[in-house]
Homo-oligomer: A and B are copies of this chain.
């Protein structure tokens, strides 16, 4: 039997995918039943490392997603359009879809999964989060008996690389970003990574799976790492923490979730604290499993293609045994309830002002007695209980004061900050970070 694959895109991930498909030795024997039928590219003239026969390549992507011979469409072109339209058209033509496109899934997941369900086909997306690290499929299958309470991930390799280097070298954000761009670890336009947008896409997808509901991306709180200074890394270190960009989804109550991305002080003993460089890790806490963590390289051609091809094989395995005999009212085959997306409601996400968390803040103030007292009184007035207030040193003639709170309501903390901002003795609120 042969299963025909149509590939949309032949960039890094597409090339990695073709490389696995053409080298099945010592991999799963089912790979030998996959055939690359067409590969859609932007230009036929581009020089490529792969030696693909010319009749495989086409610039007519529409023809791929409507080709009656193709069983599985693999979208590895990235971006929002035409990726979204092509995926929807492929589904309308009853093709299974494998995608690595976190941005499209996070934004258009509702229409994509509704279309897939109507067509009776699968959309698999293991590669969209954590590169090759298995986390989508475990959430759907291996952990499906659990009530998931928390998902916390380091899901962006670029920011983790920058933060790791800031920590080991003591450098500032700007210089290390520039170096990372030179080395190819950060893109020329680093916004999606360093401002947390990529991580927000990914946690929206994970939250949707973990809590069986749709997530409005616009409701995901998102804060990047630009504000972090070498001083913060150093003070965090002294206090027993490292700073990581965490993507967090948490069941707050039966009705509400928290879904947020922000730099966070992580205790050095925490399993995520030692996840360094471009590595990603996702920690899931469920009942009754407790904590499980998945760790690996979160990006790159090889890891991402590993996930793409595994998804292709998962669909081929389903096709191989023949679709199930049970059909929906209109005759389309019923989808496996673990593999398909069955939820349609939107989750309610709690506003950040209601978040209860610990905070770290660094202030630059006039250097005279009583300033710490004024800060402490102000926090106290807003029910913000402090764990420590330390005058850490003098910077540019100003006193540098580092505050760590107990668990407090974010709304209260922000009100105190507003008031502090207006104090004439306070020159600058240099940084505010949450503590895990």
Contact = CB atoms under 8 A, between A and B. Distances in A.
A25 B342 CA distance: 16
A310 B19 contact: no
A68 interface: no
Interface string A125-136: 010000011100
A27 interface: yes
A147 B27 contact: yes
A397 interface: no
A309 B212 CA distance: 18
Interface stretch (A163-171, A221-229, A293-301): A293-301
A132 B310 contact: no
Interface string A234-259: 00000000000000000100100000
A20 B271 contact: no
Interface string A106-141: 000000000000000000001000001110011001
Contact of A310 (B16, B141, B294): B141
A337 B30 contact: yes
A342 B145 contact: no
Contact of A142 (B20, B126, B287): B126
A296 to B, nearest CB: 4
Given A30-B338, A337-B317, A20 B145 contact: yes
Chain A binding surface, main DSSP class? mixed
Contacts of A27: 144-147
A351 interface: no
A158 interface: no
Given A321-B335, A321-B336, A325-B323, A141 B289 contact: no
Given A137-B137, A309-B145, A321-B326, A296 B289 contact: yes
A180 interface: no
Nearest to A275: B271
Interface in A305-358: 305-310, 312-314, 317-318, 320-326, 333-339, 342
Nearest to A300: B290
Q: How many A residues touch the partner, as a band?
A: 35 or more
A274 B324 CA distance: 45
A342 B292 contact: no
A43 interface: no
A267 interface: no
Contacts of A134: 134, 138, 141-143, 292
A337 to B, nearest CB: 5
A313 B144 contact: yes
Contact of A274 (B25, B212, B274, B313): B274
Interface in A147-203: 147
A289 B303 CA distance: 4
Nearest to A305: B288
Most chain B CB neighbours (cut-off 10 Å) among A28, A312, A335, A336: A28
Contacts of A314: 141, 144, 338
A133 B292 contact: yes
A124 to B, nearest CB: 10
A119 to B, nearest CB: 15
A147 B26 contact: yes
Contacts of A303: 288-290
B336 A306 contact: no
Given A29-B342, A143-B134, A146-B27, A337 B320 contact: yes
Give the top 6 A-B pairs by smallest Cβ distance, nearest first: A288-B302, A321-B324, A134-B142, A145-B309, A322-B325, A292-B296
